[in-house]
Structures are given as structure tokens and as C-alpha cells.
Structure 1
Amino acid sequence: MESENRRFFYCSCFSSENIFLSRYRLHVHFESHQQFRRDYQEVLRRCDCVTDSQIEDVIKEVSQEVERRQRLSVTSAERAAVIRDMYRPLHPHIYHLKESFLDPRFTQVVEYCRSSSATEQGLSNLLEEQPAPRVFRLPVFNRSFCEQLLEELEHFEMSAVPKGRPNTMNHHGVLLDELGFDEGFFTPLREQYLQPLTSLLYPEYGGGSLDSHKAFVVKYNMKEDLDLSYHYDNAEVTLNVSLGKDFKDGHLYFGDMRQVPLSDTECYEVEHRVTEGLLHRAQHMHGALPISSGQRWNLIMWMRASQERNTLCPMCNRKPTLVEGHGFADGFTATPTLCPTLPVC
């Protein structure tokens, strides 16, 4: 697998851009206390953060997040090492992808994509396109695998080993690379099964040159995270699979691409169904409405193409300044590919 022999990096903006303040549903940029006060003091006051001490508390929270991100590569590698040494999997066989885990309808679609006669229109006819443009529903895993994966994740949550969180917007979930799923499961899933689809569906977004990913699981629960604010993903293509359990509501909603102002955007709701995935462009703005009961686990796979992001970082809209990373980091590479690059939409 080519990507195993390549080094991947973060863009330096990772430690300063898109820091999410959940209380205020606000993404912020942070370089210094002075800059933050200048840019956000009035915005925060309009959000009922009115006193100097309240603003200082926000600055402290943001500063701690910046420090966490700056240490992330090291701390993630340390957690992964501890997990390898201390954690005993409940279902060790699921850590390596087998075709028996997949829905037969999914493998049939993949077989079509691998054929020399496959076309984007032919593939679209095999998938269930949603009201939101270029968002596709497809069966991915069978129910037995979803149940075993959930049992594994709950077993991991009950263990004493250290755990990271997926990102600043999702506080409850599991980083699947730290748990040991990347090499044997998600890399072959991306390379052998998903890239034949993305090559046809999203060629202008790097769908044919995906070379890294970030895979994680998020949990929505009545006493924890209920929903997810409107956002776009740090990737080129996203797969979002509902693993279970019993829940009501919590539909996803999609607007337009991130460059389109929200005032000019019509949003479309999309139902999440257990075992099925939604495949979409990562820069397509989306969110999750609150669940009204139960508990839902979603498997998220951000798929990245260094050929695209080496030219323009999707988070800061600049040519990336590279910072050393662990594993796939954020999918940037130091050596440009020989393939012609395409601009990010």
C-alpha cells in the first residue's frame, strides 16, 4: 500500500483555525489574546458573554485547545502505544476487513465501478441520490458487523486506557486509528472498495487520488451530544455510516458548498438508517439535528487527497505550511505528486 511508505503532515493552521466554541456555536481563529479580543469581543457580548471575566474564561478555553492541538501528534502516538500494550479487544477478528462484513449490495456496486464500462451516470442509477445534490445513500455493512463493532466500542469505553476525542465538535466517540483499525480495516476499505466509487462520483474533488483518511466514531446520547452544528469537513470526500442503536430523529441536513453564503442556501434533510452510509463532498456544508430519544453511533471516514490539499488547505484557504504529524496527520505530503492538480471548488 503506497500510503504506508509516505509521510503525512498537518498544515500549521491546525493550531489556530476553526476552533469551535460549543456554548456559542461559533468557530474562531486564535493567534494571541490581543487578536482574539479585537476580533471576537463584540461577537461574544452579543452572545451573552458580557463580562470581562467571562471573556477571559473563553480565552482560557481557546488557549487550552490550541495547546492540545500543538501536542496532538505526540499525545496521539502515546495513547496508541498504551492501547496496544494494555487493551484486550473483545472481537479481535473485526480489526481486519473481510468482505463478509459488507452488505452484498455494496460489493455489487463496487464490482460495477471496477468494470471498464462503468460510468458516473451508471453508478448514480445504482445509488439512492438524496434531495441534497450529489449526496448518495448506499448500504455499507451488514447488521451483524455493526452490532459487533458497537460491542467493541462500548468495551473500549469501559476500559481504563486513555482515550482521545474525535474533534472539538464531537466530545463523545472513539479515534479508530488509535484503537488499531487503520492498517487492517480502513486503508483497504478506502483503497479497494470506496475509491472505485469516489473516482466516478467526485473526480474533480480528488475522488480518484484519495491517499489518506481519518476514521472515527461519534456518539449521540440524550445526556451527552445531541446534535452537530452546521460545518464542513477537513477532507475531500466523507462517508458517514449509521451503526445504531435505537434512536429517533437526528436527521442530517445539507446546505450548499462552503463558499456559498448561508443566506443563499436551501437546506435538505436526509434520514440516517442503521447499516447505511451517506457519501458526500466534504466541503458540502452539513449538520445533524438533535435526536429526541435513544442513542446513535455514527462511523465517520474523512478521505483525503494530497494532490488536492497540497495546493490549497481547505481550512485556511492558503498553500499549506507543513508541520510534522503522526500517522496520516491531516493528509498533506511534502513531495508533490506527478499528477496534474485541480483547484478545490
Structure 2
Amino acid sequence: MSSNLLLGTHGSAATTTSSSATCSEDSMAAVGARAGRAPDTPLPPRARPRTEGGGAATRRRDRLQRAAPSVRAWKRGQRLAVAVRALRERGCGSEEQMAAVLREIEAEVQRRKQLVHQSAERKAIISQCYKRKHSEVYTLQDSFLAPDFLDMVRYCISPDANLHGLLRYTESFSDKRIYRLPVFTEEFCQAFIEELENFEQSDMPRGRPNSMNNYGVLLNELGMDENFITPLREKYLRPITALLYPDLGGACLDSHKAFVVKYSLHEDLDLSSHYDNAEVTLNVSLGKDFTEGNLYFGDFRQDPSPVPNYIEVEHVRTQGLLHRGGQIHGALPIASGERWNLIIWMRSSAIRNQLCPMCNQKPQLVEAEGFGDGFTETCQEDVPETVDLCSVW
């Protein structure tokens, strides 16, 4: 894939509050806990917050083909102004406090700008040195998918498919546009977890899944993007999201970030309130055996209510939850056992090129490798290809 992709400085989940959060992995990373989380937002009673893109016609065509989503948004003056406002709203008033926090923000931003290169280095090492246990799980097969899921996809690509008909195949939750659906077979989930544990026990380098989870695997580094996640998104998930989320670019989700997170008693127990750097998110419970640890969902970040209305949703092994990336959500603590979740942040460049979903600003772009943060350049002749710095992986 071409490196001339658009990047924004938002990389992972933004902790919730106001629009001051600058993108997925918080372009204002250092104030994530202060300005990006949701300290002022009431949480469900059992939730425990924690820190944590030949001639003129040919060139135009080539650009269109290269325009895989991309990247991150980055505006220094805007970022600092947002941080200052957020900090002052939370009582950080002295000049010394402000200066110290802003230095922390700048240092964290510089660190995050190196994450793309570090990830590429890890991926190269893993590709050369890692010995796979179940090589078959790296290439998506219909046999990995639940029969009911395949029936759902067949319905969605039929000529008469509509939202009302699709909802017969899913379980809906309140009015928050959250849907449970079968995704994988038990056999695949078991083999996949065994592969993940094999990688976890190896001496291979690994990065954090996102800015909030400490334990898990970035699936692009493991080599699962091209032959597993991409066809899953394009061939199977997109027909479903086209009907469920047409307003969020559900028919044109053209990139993703995919990772697995792990919860256990001696590692991460829960996940505090946040929203994702995605138009649509798929969260699949792979196993293993665990108790408690329900997900909770609040308001859509762009439409908050004075008194947030939270609902709890049980995570069921082999089944997935589809929800809007901007839906405020989190995970309650597990009480026993161990849980692995597959998370796919699906992104639409047609949507986010207009407005960065993390900082609510027009993205300014810089070059990035791979999908970046899902932004792409506009295909104007002889316009330099850049990327959005609003996020930082």
C-alpha cells in the first residue's frame, strides 16, 4: 500500500467528555485523564473509572486507487488551546500547573508521532521470526463464521434487503442503535485464542492495542489485516452496516483498525467510559471463561443528555456487538476468569474527511503508512498528498 496516505493525530479511543478530545488515541494524550475522559459524566453504579489515511486521467485514477484511508490530524495551536480550556474547566488554574501539563502534552505527542514507525518495525520482526501455532486462522474462511451470520449477510446482499428485514437477524438494545449478532463459531474462537496465547508467550515485540488497554495484540502487526480483517469488513460486515448505519458511511467503510484486548484478574479488569476513533465498531467476545464484565453504553457523544441514560449489555462468547463509534461506552470489571475481545474500528473516509470525529474540526493531513486514521486526500490534480494530524494512533 502506498505511503502517501492521509494521517490525523488521533489513534485510539478518546475518553469521554466534551469535544475537546482530539481523536482516537488522544492527540492531547497527556491530558487524556483530565480532558478526554468523563470525570464529569455520571457512570452506571457498578462502573469504576480507571486511568488508563501517464496523463492526468491516469494520475487521478492512481490517486484514487492509492487513497486508502489514512491518518491523523494535528494542529498544534488548536490542540493546545483545547487543552488549556479543558484544564481550566477542571480547576487547573495556576501558570505553573498549566505550563507543566502543556510540556507533558508536547512530550507525549512527540512520543506518539513515532508509533507508526515503531509498529512497522515490530510487524517486520514478527513476520520474519514468529512461529505460528494455527496458520489457518490468518486467512478468513466461511467455516470460521456462524451459520446465522452467513444467513444475515446473504439477506443483506439480496435485492430486497431492508433495515426492517435485517433486524429479524439481530438483537437490538434500546434506542441506541446497538445490535448483537452471531459472528464466529466456537471452534474458530478456541483456535484463535490459542494462537493469541502462543504469540503472547513468545518473545516477539508487541505494542499496546490502544491508549486505554494495556494487554492485547495489534492484528496488523500479527499479519492478519490483508487476508482476514479486510475481507471480513468488505465482504461480510459492510453489507450489514450499509443498512444499519447509512448516515455514518456504513456502505463505504473503507478502512479499519483491528486489535484484540485481554481482561483478567491480574491485568486489566475493566475499561472506563470512552468513545472510539471509528464510525462503526464491532466488538466480539472470543472467550475464554469469565463472569461479570458487562459492557455499558451511554449517550451518543454528539447528543448528550443532562442525565445520561446507561444500559448494560452482556457479552456472549462468539457473538458481537455493533455500535456507533461515538457511542459512549465502557466495560465493567470481570469477577473471575479471562476474556479476549476482538475489536474492529471501521472507518469511512467519506465521512471523516469532512469532519474529524475526535476533535470535531476539518482535518489537516500528513502522510502515513497503511490505513492511518482513515482519512484520505481529495483527488485534485497536483495537490500534495498529506495527512490529518488530529490523532496519534
Distance in 1, Cα, partners of 2:126 & 2:305: 42
Residue among 140, 145, 149 paired with 2:183: 140
Task: Answer whether contact 2:123 2:222 (CA < 8 A) is retained.
Answer: yes
Distance in 2, Cα, partners of 1:22 & 1:293: 32
Residue among 290, 299, 302 paired with 2:342: 299
Matched, 1:283 2:321: no
Residue among 178, 181, 203 paired with 2:221: 178
Alignment of 1:64-213 (within 5 A): 64-213=107-256
Residue among 274, 278, 282 paired with 1:235: 278
Distance in 2, Cα, partners of 1:38 & 1:201: 36
Aligned partner of residue 90 in structure 2, secondary structure: helix
Distance in 2, Cα, partners of 1:117 & 1:80: 43
Q: Which runs of 5+ in 1 are unaligned?
A: 338-345
Distance in 2, Cα, partners of 1:224 & 1:26: 25
* CA distance 1:13–1:140, change in 2 (3 Å): closer
The answer for the alignment partner of 1:223 in structure 2 is: 266
Residue among 287, 293, 296 paired with 1:244: 287
Distance in 1, Cα, partners of 2:271 & 2:314: 15
Aligned residue type for 2:299: D
Aligned residue type for 2:119: S
Compare relative contact order (CA 8 Å, sep 6+) and give the higher one, 1 or 2.
2
* CA distance 1:319–1:249, change in 2 (3 Å): same
* CA distance 1:314–1:212, change in 2 (3 Å): same
Aligned partner of residue 252 in structure 2, secondary structure: coil
The answer for the alignment partner of 1:342 in structure 2 is: none
Bigger Cα displacement from structure 2, 299-308 vs 154-163 = 154-163
Distance in 1, Cα, partners of 2:85 & 2:172: 44
Aligned residue type for 1:166: P
Residue among 12, 16, 40 paired with 2:87: 40
CA shift for structure 1 position 326: 1.9
Task: Answer whether contact 1:195 1:208 (CA < 8 A) is retained.
Answer: yes
Task: Answer whether contact 2:29 2:109 (CA < 8 A) is retained.
Answer: no
Distance in 1, Cα, partners of 2:29 & 2:131: 34
Task: Answer whether contact 1:30 1:62 (CA < 8 A) is retained.
Answer: no
CA shift for structure 1 position 210: 0.8
CA shift for structure 1 position 8: 3.4
CA shift for structure 1 position 131: 2.8
Aligned partner of residue 36 in structure 2, secondary structure: strand
Distance in 2, Cα, partners of 1:100 & 1:34: 50
Bigger Cα displacement from structure 2, 13-22 vs 218-227 = 13-22
Aligned partner of residue 250 in structure 2, secondary structure: coil
Aligned partner of residue 197 in structure 2, secondary structure: helix
Task: Answer whether contact 1:25 1:229 (CA < 8 A) is retained.
Answer: no
The answer for the alignment partner of 1:9 in structure 2 is: 6
* CA distance 1:179–1:61, change in 2 (3 Å): farther
Distance in 1, Cα, partners of 2:256 & 2:300: 21
* CA distance 1:13–1:241, change in 2 (3 Å): closer
Aligned residue type for 2:168: N
Q: Which runs of 5+ in 2 are unaligned?
A: 13-20, 38-73, 381-393
Task: Answer whether contact 2:273 2:329 (CA < 8 A) is retained.
Answer: yes
Aligned partner of residue 356 in structure 2, secondary structure: coil
Distance in 2, Cα, partners of 1:70 & 1:277: 32
User: How many residues of Structure 1 are paired with residues of Structure 2 in the alignment?
Assistant: 329
Task: Answer whether contact 1:232 1:284 (CA < 8 A) is retained.
Answer: yes
CA offset digits 1:237-290 (Å, max 9, x no partner): 110000111111111111121012353421111000010000111111111111
The answer for the alignment partner of 1:330 in structure 2 is: 373
CA shift for structure 1 position 231: 1.3
* CA distance 1:136–1:39, change in 2 (3 Å): closer
Aligned partner of residue 263 in structure 1, secondary structure: coil
CA shift for structure 1 position 31: 5.3
Aligned partner of residue 306 in structure 2, secondary structure: helix
CA shift for structure 1 position 335: 2.9
CA offset digits 1:128-168 (Å, max 9, x no partner): 11235211100100011111111111111111121011111
Bigger Cα displacement from structure 2, 319-328 vs 199-208 = 319-328
* CA distance 1:23–1:325, change in 2 (3 Å): closer
CA shift for structure 1 position 127: 0.9
Distance in 2, Cα, partners of 1:297 & 1:22: 28
CA offset digits 1:175-214 (Å, max 9, x no partner): 0001000000011001110011001111111000111111
